[in-house]
Structure 1
Amino acid sequence: MEATQMSKKRKFVADGVFFVELNEVLTRELAEDGYSGVEVRVTPMRTKIIIRATSTQNVLGEKGRRIRELTSVVQKRFKFHENSVELYDEKAESLRYKLLGGLAVRRACYSVLRFVMENGAKGCELKNTSTLLSDTFFSAKDIVIIHSPKEEEAFRPALAPAEVEVEV
């Protein structure tokens, strides 16, 4: 991303296009490694790109070779200056890969629920409505319930619900 003067509208559009293209490149490259998302942090000196995947060892590669290759691909594709972009990997829990690996539905859901709650979520709810083997329906909840109206008003903007569907 070039350091030129542009309007705020163009900047937002350029950032969005950059994010979409980066996500597409990483999705194609890291699909079998459990790629689940990317986060971009821009600082004045360099841009940090954090890749979330279920198997971080595969993203790093042998002696960090693959992450260096990805860094050079991103540098060339998006015209970054030398040493101005850094790629990091971060562990992401994936229910899909646990289920494809043959883990029991209940055990997989509870491990993902525990992972989410240990990483600072206020609440999490998982629902499985598939008809795999014997588990016809399974639901797991771990939610912080706010009772006081004042506390609820204070927390309401910070608690944005998210919904993700997983197809196996």
Structure 2
Amino acid sequence: MAAQISKKRKFVADGVFFAELNEFFTRELAEEGLAVRRACYGVLRFIMESGAKGCEVVVSGKLRAARAKSMKFVDGFMIHSGQPIRDYVDTAVRHVMLRQGVLGIKVKIMLDWDPSGKIGPKKSLPDVVNIMEPKEEPLITQPSSEDFQRPPQDIPVASTSPIPQQDISADYTTTEFAT
């Protein structure tokens, strides 16, 4: 790692944004004897300031006591299932060998959607709904009707002669049903 690292804050000066680098910073801070909670919150804050949509850091092992435990630090929005996790979440897992035992460090970074596809996935999340502006429609001043089945010149003109009435009473006769 030939990157320029700040001594006070322990992050890369050029702002490189990968889960492995953030895992490296967590390991460096843990080896120097700083509090794990303070180191993880510093890494979490740096990831979120770099433009991530969400982040999760999990440190497990013998942190300061003889008994092992796991600490999870979460910030922002994180998805955990489906195809978008393969597109949006960058994951790094490392094992740090210390004098008292092994620490496991997992860093998950959820990238933000980028339409150009340079710093994030080009596809948007499947549950994102884009509301479009409605099209401009002409103002209707009079009622009108259109027949989309036939061309306009084939429309028949209604006749003005009256329709003859039929006597329908002769068609219906009453019948008695035998019970």
| Both proteins in one fold, TM over 0.5 | no
With normalisation by structure 2, the TM-score equals 0.37
Structure (1 or 2) with the greater helix fraction? 1
Larger radius of gyration: 2
